[in-house]
């Protein structure tokens, strides 16, 4: 192997090791619900939501432990256009990143998450959001976990259908 290929190989390995180290130490790698304990629930559900001014949504989860209503309060000052993502395969309306809090209100209590997401503006725009549990009430008091949202807007760009996955652990 040539010296140049060896250096590139070592550099690539070091970058991969550094990235793995950041992921592990930042808490992005979590045990599966079975490894995490009996009070952890794997979340696989759907959410529907509608945009409300200025940067909020109201919605509903129709199944699972999060069944109930949702209210997202977006931080308007966090909306940041992501440049150079305005040509196919991305929407011509542009792509933005954002942050906010999502409140789930269920019969068992409330669960609040804080999240960051990216979204293609406009009709049929697609987006992803990553949320971490920050507090809860009732049966969700002391809860921990994370949720991932994969969503798409309808033709108006104001109504969203999401697939929600993740893990929620409830303390004894």
Q: Does residue 22 carry a pLDDT above 70? A: no
Peptide bond into 54 cis (omega under 30): yes
pLDDT more than 90, % of the chain: 66
SS3 29: coil
* pLDDT score, position 106: 98
Looking at residue 87, what is its pLDDT?
Answer: 57
Is 42:27 a contact under the CB 8 Å cutoff?
no
Specify the pTM: 0.75
Please check whether residue 142 is in contact with residue 170, taking contact to mean a CB–CB distance below 8 angstroms. Answer: yes
Q: State how far the Cα of 15 lies from the Cα of 17, in Å rounded to an integer.
A: 5
More confident residue, 92 or 52: 52
d(CA 120, CA 97): 9
Does residue 12 carry a pLDDT above 60? no
CB atoms within 10 A of CB 79: 14
Radius of gyration from C-alpha coordinates of the chain: 19
User: What pLDDT score was predicted for residue 9?
Assistant: 40
Phi, psi of 65 (to 5 degrees): -70, -15
pLDDT above 70 for 27: no
| Topology of the domain comprising 34-169 | AOC barrel-like (2.40.350)
Is the Cβ–Cβ distance between 46 and 164 less than 8 Å? yes
Task: Please determine, for residue 14, whether its predicted confidence score (pLDDT) is greater than 80.
Answer: no
Higher pLDDT, 150 or 172: 150
117 contacts 101 by C-beta, under 8 angstroms: no
pLDDT of residue 135: 97
Give the pLDDT band of residue 84 (cuts 50, 70, 90).
low
pLDDT for 158? 93
Residue range 17-39: mean pLDDT, rounded: 44
What average pLDDT score do residues 55-82 get? 96
- For the chain, which residues make up each domain, given as ranges? 1-30, 34-169
Confidence tier at 51 by pLDDT (50, 70, 90)? very high
Predicted confidence at residue 94, as pLDDT, reads 82
Spatial CA neighbour of 110 closest among 153, 69, 150: 69
Distances (CA, A) of 101 to 40, 56, 70: 22, 10, 10
């Amino acid at each position: 192997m040539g010296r140049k290929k060896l250096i590139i190989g070592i550099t690539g390995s070091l970058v991969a090791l550094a990235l793995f180290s950041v992921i592990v130490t930042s808490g992005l790698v979590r045990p599966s619900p079975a490894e995490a304990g009996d009070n952890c629930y794997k979340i696989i559900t759907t959410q529907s939501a509608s945009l409300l001014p200025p940067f909020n949504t109201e919605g509903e989860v129709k199944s699972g432990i999060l069944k109930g209503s949702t209210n997202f309060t977006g931080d308007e000052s966090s909306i940041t256009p992501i440049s150079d993502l305005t040509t196919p395969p991305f929407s011509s309306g542009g792509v933005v990143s954002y942050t906010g809090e999502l409140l789930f209100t269920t019969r068992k209590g409330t669960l609040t998450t804080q999240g960051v997401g990216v979204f293609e503006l406009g009709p049929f725009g697609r987006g992803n959001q990553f949320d971490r549990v920050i507090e809860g009430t009732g049966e969700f008091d002391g809860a921990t976990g994370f949720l991932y949202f994969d969503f798409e807007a309808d033709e108006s760009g104001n109504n969203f259908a999401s697939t929600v996955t993740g893990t929620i652990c409830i303390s004894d």
